[in-house]
Amino acid sequence: MTHARRIALVRRPAANLAAGQLTHIERTPVDLELARAQWRDYVEALAAAGWETREVDPADEAPDSVFIEDAVVMFGDVAVVTSPGAESRRGESAGAEAAVRRLGGTVRRLELPGTLDGGDVLKVGNTVYVGRSLRTNAEGVRQLTAIVGPLGYTVVAVPVSGALHLKTAVTALPDGTVIGFPPLVDDEGLFDRFLAVPEAEGTAVVVLDEQTVLMSSAAPRSADLFRGLGYTVVTVGISEFEKLEGCVTCLSVRVR
């Protein structure tokens, strides 16, 4: 199969990864060496699927910097550098901005008092669902809407009360079906097509191509559900990132 050039931004784990933010789960020890190995496997899985991976400069003082998805959101060749909702994550933006400037294209920036984490942004076709979570405030949604509305996107703000980010609760299959673990979803009726998955770790998929998704190995029943729908499923172990409320989507920014 031939692909248009696809680039994925990744950022290697900081040495103080274990000190990352936790909101909904108890802290359990993180094995840094295992996390580094899992991160390398994740990057290899992207590369094996035809993605050119580019490293954002490491941010060793920012424990959550590996979750690069939160720092920048791409809309075609327009990059939006976010305004992180957690103060400990604000030092991640400068490196993320430098990385998207190296890509070329247009760079826009969200500003305080607006806050928005990329984990709250789910694009499905021209619809942009934005989670109103603890990290993303109304002003953040307003600033994003002002940027992407003129680009032809429709922003739909979605309440998120039981999960860290919107994409902790829902993501989408290649055909645009929104998938989610119902206990984490505020209102399934907000989505045009919604499919319930049986495991919390099964909510997050990275679309590798029209037939293939990448997901956590911690959700085998969800993987079977997707295989039954005709998808090829690639799994990776990301236990050390899940201990920090991370998921497969958070570990990269896909530029397509």
Active site residues: 165, 250
Contact status, residue 122 vs residue 180, Cβ threshold 8 Å: no
Q: Is there a binding annotation on residue 69?
A: yes
Rounded Cα distance between 189 and 172, Å, is: 15
Question: 208 a known binding residue?
Answer: no
Between 3 and 13, name the residue whose CB sits nearer to ligand CIR. Answer: 13
- Taking the complex as a whole, how short is the minimal distance between the CB of residue 144 and ligand CIR, in angstroms? 15
User: Which segment (39-47, 104-112, 160-168, 180-188) binds ligand CIR by CB under 6 A?
Assistant: 160-168
Q: Which of residues 227-256 bind ligand CIR (CB under 6 A)?
A: 244-247, 250
CA distances from 90 to 61, 63, 216, 248 (A): 11, 11, 27, 22
Is 89 one of the annotated binding-site residues? yes
The residue from 93, 143, 168, 171 that contacts ligand CIR (CB under 6 A) is: 168
Task: Count CB atoms within 10 A of the CB of residue 219.
Answer: 25
As a whole number of angstroms, the distance between CA 197 and CA 181 comes to 5
**Which residue in 158, 167, 169, 207 binds ligand CIR (CB under 6 A)?**
167
- Dihedral sign of CA atoms 99, 101, 103, 106 in order: positive
Collapsing DSSP states into helix, strand and coil, what is residue 247? coil
* Contacting residue, 20, 95, 114, 202, with ligand CIR by CB under 6 A: 20
Is 244 annotated as a binding-site member? yes
Q: Is the separation of the CB atoms in 135 and 125 below 8 Å?
A: no
Asked whether 83 and 116 are in contact (CB, 8 A), the reply is yes
64 contacts 16 by C-beta, under 8 angstroms: no
Size of the site for ligand CIR (CB under 6 A): 19
Amino acid at 160: V
Measured between alpha carbons, how far is 78 from 76 in angstroms, rounded to an integer?
A: 6
What is the C-alpha to C-alpha distance for residues 139 and 62, in angstroms, rounded to an integer? 24
- Asked whether residue 31 is marked as a ligand-binding residue, the answer is no
CB 70, min distance to ligand CIR, A: 5
- Least separation, in Å, of the C-beta of 244 and ligand CIR? 4
Binding of ligand CIR at residue 21 (CB under 6 A)? Answer: yes
Of the candidate residues 86, 103, 190, 196, the single one contacting ligand CIR (CB under 6 A)? 86
Residue 185 touches ligand CIR, criterion: CB under 6 A: no
Whether residue 22 is annotated as binding a ligand: the answer is yes
Which of helix, strand or coil describes residue 118?
helix
Q: Which segments are annotated as binding site?
A: 22, 64, 69-70, 89, 135, 244
Q: Which segments are annotated as binding site for substrate?
A: 22, 64, 69-70, 89, 135, 244
Contacts with ligand CIR, residue ranges (CB under 6 A):
20-21, 23, 64, 67, 69-70, 86, 89, 119, 164-165, 167-168, 244-247, 250
